[in-house]
Structure 1
Amino acid sequence: MTTTDTLRRILDYSSRADPYPLYAELRETPVAPQEDGSYVISTYRELTDILHNPHLSSDVRNLSHPTRDAEDRAAPSFINLDPPEHDRLRRMAMRHFGPPHTPGLVTGLEPDLTATVSSLIDDFAGKEQIDIVDDFAYPFPVTVICHLLGVPREDEPRFHLWVNAIIESLDYDPKTDPKEKLENGEQASKDLGQYLGGLLEQRHGRPGDDLLTRLANDDGPDGRMTDDEILATARLLLIAGHETTVNLVTNGMLTLLRHPHMLQRLRDEPGQIVPLVEELLRYEPPVHIIPWRAAYSDITVADTVIPQGSRIMLMLASGSRDPNRFHDPDRFDPDRRDNQHLGFGSGIHLCFGGPLARRETQIALTELVRRLDRPSLVADPPPYRRSPILRGPIHLHIEQGDR
């Protein structure tokens, strides 16, 4: 079987519940040329090497045959730019999102995070079944990111549809997918941009603590973002700020229910939550694939020359299960040492919101484990989302107590 066949099986929905055996097949060829001229990298060492390679580009314009994705029609966010523009915009956003300029952002949110989690769990009362996704893992980070950005929480049903369409279009394949999949994503990106643009217009020249207001009025060392740059940053944070956390919380609860001794251990020793979440990021990460990067110039990885302009697909979740880097990698082990996983990527594009996602997940899982009464899965495996990129259950139904 060729690596192209293996990749095709990984991307096929039938493998969504357990792609890990296929990742093992793919790792037999660390840098795998594909029939369409692209390259797939799946082993830890090669992934970390290329993620830190200055000749790797995140700008679609550096592809020999640029793809059309949902963000191409709008100003790109900084994760789809290269230095120095990437560095400038990331610095400007970080002034208001975390250290060194706002070092207390995440810790300052902890009372609100705990209160939101407690309220959502309170609402479980009287329910025979709970959907961890719809009833908890989705509304929790959405509430948080709306608060941070200054997006009205009551508008969530509108942008929920747009976000879903954008994510569905991320892995668009013109050979197999209907054109409507791409068109829906492009239209959703336009609609979301217009919506955020309307909110931004209201922020100019007005005081406020939300991120949109701060970006609209702040003149820092790098100057002020243009409106297009603010909208690209806001769009990125609105989507990435909740989608990854939804998956991480849901994957975490699923993993604990599959390992009841670990669930009980966390209940008895809540201080274990920090290494447990780090192991979740390795074992069942929220982001499995970076669907493309480009080569600025010819790049040599594992004795394979990747020509300039080639599309490169990075299989992060495969790298975090690489037995040449992690002992017994298919075992969930919160006591694992030297756990430098790729759950949030690596290099200059290391996940911007990682500290917040970690703390959200730590609080969410600790409270779920503490308060749920003998939870059990209704179905295993649960139904999964379509996307192989942002991988997680679309629903996770559980029951409590005696059955």
Structure 2
Amino acid sequence: MTTTQKPDTLHRILDYSSRADPYPLYAELRKTPVARQEDGSYVISTYRELMDILHNPHLSSDVRNLSHPMPTAQAETTPAFINLDPPEHDRLRRMAMRHFGPPHAPGLVSGLEPDLTATVGSLIDGFAGKEQIDIVDDFAYPFPVTVISHLLGVPPDDAPRFHLWVDDIINSLDYDPKTDPKEILENGLQARKDIRQYLGGLLEQRHGRPGDDLLTRMANDDGPDGRMTDEDIVATAHLLLIAGHETTVNLITNGMLTLLRHPQVLQRLRDEPDLVVPLVEELLRYEPPVHIIPWRAAYSDITVADTVIPKGSQIMLMLASGSRDPNRFPDPDRFDPDRRDNQHLGFGTGIHLCFGGPLARREVQIALTELVRRLDRPRLVADPPPYRRSPILRGPIHLPVEQGDG
């Protein structure tokens, strides 16, 4: 059975006017778990169906399997592994993971903790004497950017350059040729080229030279799967540079916004620092940094919830909707850091489970613990705050907060 859903709900979710609170619209969307849109694409919005399809071997992450190519596909001459399928995805992910985490680099995240704590402390020190701060500009952006730049071996002075590139890329992720100016697409495509050219230049300096950064390790490593090509290294570094800070910025900012809206929980975290571990998991469910996977493709016909999705169809996965599904999470619209059985979709699931999830979790745990401990009577200046354009990677573009007597 195929159900065609009126486009109004999805269009309203994607419209900027809904950015501050898309959750009532997600509830409306869930009335039709698998819904065919007028353009022939499919939207999946309920937890069970999202889990089913994310673990379905006939679901493709390769844009080349779409019947109608995405506008941004022309820039992906060498896709990152997140946009590939097995076995190529698995091979490249293994090669990158050798340098990023277990089993070959098991101490990476724990070894970074002193630096993470010091960076957070230094940023908060900069709040001294300020009655108003912007959690995004003054903290949530510079913190993870400093971390991922250090890991990759990107000069920190170049951060402003790739900040502009990343903004253009993120803004183009949900480009709609029917409604959006072509400039958004063109800027995104150019930013992809610029950032890859920049990373390629850094990589040229790494061959045959010792070093601990990820670019150097990938450039000189001959593991069981061989050595990455320069094109694959640049594509992987591009992915890590964007994913390594963009989702963390949103999660820190969404987290602080949620705590300021729930002062009792904020005080409890101040009194019980160990609460931060389950609290961050609940944030990943309640206010995740990634709301939508804008496209996947069907290798062949796929049946989900009695709906047949034809081969080559575009499939949009509404992860944030699934994490608020009342059939999976009791009282899903309540923020509850004591929630049990919290298998959210905040970092996805299946073979594309977020590569940098362990690092992002620890960054956010340290960031929120120290912000709550050290800010003096913080309170929101505006609620809701202004949000970024993107409905895919959703978070405030600014979060002004007053502290002290005001």
What is the correspondence of 1:1-400 to structure 2 with a 5 Å cutoff? 2-69=5-72, 72-400=75-403
1:402 CA displacement: 1.6
1:68 CA displacement: 2.1
Q: Does the residue aligned with 1:291 lie in a helix, a strand or coil?
A: strand
Distance 2:55 2:295 in 1: 15
Determine if contact 1:137/1:246 at 8 Å carries over to the other structure: yes
Distance 2:27 2:45 in 1: 9
Letter in 2 for 1:318: S
Distance 1:115 1:210 in 2: 19
Paired residue total = 403
Determine if contact 1:70/1:182 at 8 Å carries over to the other structure: no
- CA 1:70–1:362 in 2, change beyond 3 Å: closer, same or farther? farther
Q: Does the residue aligned with 2:316 lie in a helix, a strand or coil?
A: strand
More displaced stretch, 173-182 vs 196-205:
173-182
**Per-residue CA distance 1:27-53 (angstroms, 9 max, x = gap):** 000001000000000000000000000
- CA 1:164–1:71 in 2, change beyond 3 Å: closer, same or farther? farther
Letter in 1 for 2:30: R
**Per-residue CA distance 1:100-147 (angstroms, 9 max, x = gap):** 000000000000000000000000011121000000000000000000
1:69 CA displacement: 1.5
| TM superposition score normalised by structure 2 | 0.98
Letter in 2 for 1:93: A
Distance 2:286 2:327 in 1: 15
- CA 1:70–1:61 in 2, change beyond 3 Å: closer, same or farther? closer
Distance 2:299 2:71 in 1: 19
Determine if contact 1:289/1:316 at 8 Å carries over to the other structure: yes
Determine if contact 1:41/1:47 at 8 Å carries over to the other structure: yes
**Per-residue CA distance 1:147-173 (angstroms, 9 max, x = gap):** 000000000111111110011110001
Q: Does the residue aligned with 1:69 lie in a helix, a strand or coil?
A: helix
Identity %: 87
Distance 1:137 1:106 in 2: 19
Determine if contact 1:70/1:185 at 8 Å carries over to the other structure: no
Distance 1:86 1:232 in 2: 12
Distance 1:365 1:136 in 2: 11
Letter in 2 for 1:205: G
Q: CA RMSD in A?
A: 0.9
Gaps in structure 2 of 5+ consecutive residues: none
1:2 CA displacement: 4.5
Distance 2:356 2:28 in 1: 32
| TM superposition score normalised by structure 1 | 0.99
**Per-residue CA distance 1:292-346 (angstroms, 9 max, x = gap):** 0000000000000000000000000000000000000000000000000000000
Distance 2:83 2:76 in 1: 13
More displaced stretch, 2-11 vs 211-220:
2-11
